[in-house]
Amino acid sequence: MNTRYNKIGNTYNVTRKADDRLTHKILSHLNINVPAHILDVGAGSGNYSFELANMGYRVTAVEPSQVMMEQSKRHKNLTWNQGAAENLPLDTWMESFVPMQYIILVLWIKVLVR
């Protein structure tokens, strides 16, 4: 799908790791509790998705790059879908997310600037 991210995907995890401080800052702004269901759009190789899953959150990660997805770690609380934000079937997905607790993490920067 996204050729730019397919090009950098093979070495992405060499320099990119989830920052524990950033993970906790995001969670403090979201004010959610385990086992909330988090939708991580543009998940990349899933470093943050994995950390959130490891903390007990249920995470659905969406990423357009197959190469990025191939670099991801697997976790029982983490489900992967290949796709782009503008093509998400949100009307269908919201039916399953709404009865659960859900949060959409699309723009991490918005959370951090507040």
Comparing C-alpha atoms, which of 36, 45, 49, 92 is closest to residue 65? 45
Give the mean pLDDT of 58-81: 92
Confidence of residue 94 (pLDDT cuts 50, 70, 90): low
Measure Cα distances from 22 to 19, 26, 48, 88, 94 in Å. 5, 6, 9, 26, 27
**SS3 label, residue 93:** helix
* 101 or 45: which leads in pLDDT: 45
Measure Cα distances from 23 to 14, 20, 62 in Å. 19, 5, 18
Residue found by looking up tokens 């697997």 in the block: 74
Q: What pTM did the predictor assign? A: 0.77
Task: Return the pLDDT at 100.
Answer: 39
Confirm or reject CATH 3.40.50.150 for domain 3-113, answering yes or no: yes
Helix 47-54 to helix 20-30 angle, to the nearest 10 degrees? Answer: 70
**Cβ-proximal residues to 79 (8 Å cutoff; 6+ apart), any chain:** 59, 60, 61
Task: Return the pLDDT at 113.
Answer: 44
